[in-house]
Amino acid sequence: MIIESKRIGCLDGLRGLAALWVLVGHSLQLTGWHLPILSSPDLGVDLFIMLSGFLMVFHYQLRETANPWEKPSTWFGFWLKRFFRIAPLYYVMLCIALLLGPQLYESRMVIDTFLEHGPQLPERYLDGSLRNLFIHASFLFGLHPAYAFRTPLPDWSLGLEMQFYAVFPLAMLLLRRTRWLPGAAVVALAAFLIAKAIQAAHVDFPMPSFLPLKMHVFLCGMLIANGLFVSPLQTIMNGLLAVMLVMIPIGGDMTSTKVAIRLLLVIGFFALVHYHLLPGLVGRLGDRVSSLMGSRLCHWLGELSFGVYLIHLILLQPIAAFVIRHFGAGISTPARFAIVVAALLPSAYALAYLGFTRIEGPGQKLGRKVLEKIRRRRLEPA
């Protein structure tokens, strides 16, 4: 397929949907109301992971001629851009979360006591040590089971993301040399064996923050993106392999329902990107839905998705605790959920917008300036 645009419209809507899914899922969990599928925010994170794998390959392929990945300078530029994409807002939210840890822990105790949940580990909220701050600021926490889930933020996935960025250039060089299908299968098998090895060694990650536990999900997005640059037959083969990879039984809760939803996520993602390969009405429907998910509203939901993901838990826990203290069992569970979400949604998106315009955007601009300055210095004569 010939790429006519550097933008895939449905990605905005999918990013916005993933963030909203995580927000609603956590709200359901912390108000005691269970709704199938929506009550599983980890599935929303899996969608984020697929989107990340897709975007990295998509931009890699578009820039391959101008920025060949055989050059170490391309690797460095890639890592620097990704750092400035994630780090500025994360560092701000990390400091806020560690400072508010005791208050958030108190709110969480109110919630867990009311819902009769097991208590949270205190260190997740109360460890404001320099060691904890350093290991999170360095993004190494995902490699250490004791630190992978040790802040009030849902940041375990950011450590995972940074590990993926670290190995991505190597993975792409491997896939180019071995061909995509066998190469992706080898990478997934290697990740599976490493995951089983650490399990056999009784190394237990509280969240799947170690890359081998989720590499197969990244590969699903990577395969779907590669389909934009190969023949229709190869695209379909990529999709079939993605369907098989997403069923690998590692990296989280693998109940039959969640496996089925993960399958549907891969199939739906494939259909929205490659609707031109689908027959008749199905293809036209995919085209229509993909266009809607690229609307201006969805664009902004996508832009704010990272901020909403980072911010929502810091707001959600005090709001849920406040509602529980004031209403207790005097209102129904759906009403409790509705009140919490009605307060959470506007505040989370307003703060995410503020973070996007005041921190994320300027941070990315700073990253481009730093990279350009480094490039100019390299071009200067000795």
pLDDT for position 272: 93
Residue-by-residue DSSP string for 9-31: THHHHHHHHHHHHHHHHHHHHHH
Question: In the chain, where are the structural domains located?
Answer: 31-360
**Measured distance CA(111)–CA(113) in Å, rounded:** 6
**Measured distance CA(161)–CA(155) in Å, rounded:** 10
Most trustworthy range by pLDDT among 248-262, 277-291, 332-346: 332-346
pLDDT for position 2: 44
Res 351 pLDDT > 50: yes
Res 171 pLDDT > 70: yes
- pTM value is 0.95
The CB-based long-range contact list for 77-80 (8 Å cut-off, 24+ gap) reads 77/371, 78/165, 78/168, 78/169, 79/165, 79/166, 80/367, 80/370, 80/371, 80/374
Q: Taking residues 297-321, what's their average pLDDT?
A: 96
Helix axes 72-99, 101-115, angle to 10 degrees: 70
**Measured distance CA(291)–CA(55) in Å, rounded:** 18
Q: CB neighbours of 155 closer than 8 A, spacing ≥ 6?
A: 90, 94, 136, 141, 310
pLDDT for position 1: 46
- The residue type at 205: F
pLDDT, tens digit, 9 for 90 and up, residues 34-68:
999 999 999 999 999 999 999 999 988 888 777 77
Take residue 185 and report the two structure tokens written for it. Answer: 């299968």
pLDDT band at 5 (very low <50, low <70, confident <90, very high): low
Are 50 and 266 within 8 A, CB to CB? yes
pLDDT for position 192: 97
pLDDT, tens digit, 9 for 90 and up, residues 231-282:
999 999 999 999 999 999 999 888 999 999 999 999 999 999 999 898 888 7
Q: Nearest-CA neighbor of 189 among 245, 253, 240, 258?
A: 245
Integer Rg of the chain from CA: 21
Q: Half-sphere exposure of 219 toward its Cβ, with a 13 Å CA cutoff?
A: 31
Distances (CA, A) of 227 to 184, 261, 263, 348: 13, 22, 18, 35
Determine the straight-line distance between the first and last CA of the chain, rounded to whole angstroms. Answer: 45
| Residue 340 burial class via C-beta count within 10 angstroms: exposed 0-12, middle 13-18, buried 19 and up | buried
**Alpha helices (H) along 63-100:** 72-99
Q: Half-sphere exposure of 361 toward its Cβ, with a 13 Å CA cutoff?
A: 9
Take residue 103 and report the two structure tokens written for it. Answer: 């208050």
Q: Taking residues 125-140, what's their average pLDDT?
A: 96
Distances (CA, A) of 365 to 56, 152, 262, 356: 19, 28, 35, 12
Res 343 pLDDT > 90: yes
Res 161 pLDDT > 80: yes
Percent over 70 (pLDDT), the chain: 98
Supply the mean pLDDT for the chain: 93
Most trustworthy range by pLDDT among 186-190, 289-293, 295-299: 186-190
pLDDT, tens digit, 9 for 90 and up, residues 11-38:
999 999 999 999 999 999 999 999 999 9
pLDDT band at 221 (very low <50, low <70, confident <90, very high): very high
pLDDT band at 290 (very low <50, low <70, confident <90, very high): confident
Q: Taking residues 133-154, what's their average pLDDT?
A: 96
